[in-house]
Amino acid sequence: MLDTFEKFEKYLEIIGDCKKRYDFKLYHYALLNNHIHLLLQTCEKDSISEILKFVSGVYAGWYNRINNRKGHFWKDRFGSKIIDKENYFLRCAIYIELNPVRAGLVKNPADWRFSSAATSLHGVKNTIIDMSEVLLSLGKTEEERQSEYKALLDFELDRTNALNKAIAEKDKKTARKILRQGQMYSDFIPYKLALTNLFGYSLTKIHLGV
């Protein structure tokens, strides 16, 4: 379980160590208390399962050691989806970076220290993040790219805030309407799943359980 800043920071430290050992690029991520989202690209010789096995194993060993416990740490095996379209990449990136907002941890995604949002939106230096070709295509300069990405994220943030408000007020009619608006993105799976489970999907989602 990631329930302290120390644990969040340790997990990110392990990802940094993992990048030195395995050949992969990490474009976007969000760490939450009970699950983790990663948007990454692997090379041919290193698989996602190998990468996450390393990260999960090192973190579980560290967690068990500081808590004087034994046994399994991870509740479920990770789930993953292949991205083969540029717009799908962007929507997954935005979905990931809005997770802390959906969870009620912050109102502005860039304020969550344990995600890539501050880098995507403001260019904050982050040594474990790689710049994707998709983000590079959004503009000729860093300012143009950040502005374009922010516009896309703000649009989805407005929908998220409206949906959260409808859910809090138990306004099912409005909630369904907002969710159906998302169905225009026919290739974006989270919107489809949201109709039956509001926040039950991620690109690569790792469940934590103790």
Whole-number Å distance between alpha carbons of 168 and 142 = 37
Taking residues 85-95, report their average pLDDT: 83
Torsion angle in degrees (nearest 10) through CA of 58, 128, 23, 140: 160
Check pLDDT > 80 for residue 4: yes
pLDDT value of residue 73: 58
Q: Where residue 163 sits, what CATH number does that domain have?
A: 3.30.70.1290
The three-class DSSP label of residue 32 is: coil
Q: Residues of 152-161 as b/e, b for ≥16 C-beta within 10 angstroms?
A: ebeebbebbe
| Nearest in space to 177 (alpha carbons), one of 159, 155, 152 | 159
Helix (H) or strand (E) segment spanning residue 168: helix 142-168
Range of the domain at 167: 5-69+73-207
What pLDDT, in 10s, does the model give residues 189-198?
343 333 333 3
Residue showing tokens 């991620």: 202
Q: Residues of 47-80 as b/e, b for ≥16 C-beta within 10 angstroms?
A: ebeebbebbbebbeebbeeeeeeeeebbeeebeb
Model-level pTM greater than 0.85?
A: no
How many folded domains does the chain comprise?
A: 1
Taking residues 113-129, report their average pLDDT: 96
pLDDT band at 31 (very low <50, low <70, confident <90, very high): very high
Query: Which pair of tokens denotes residue 57?
Result: 């194993």
Helix (H) or strand (E) segment spanning residue 100: helix 99-102
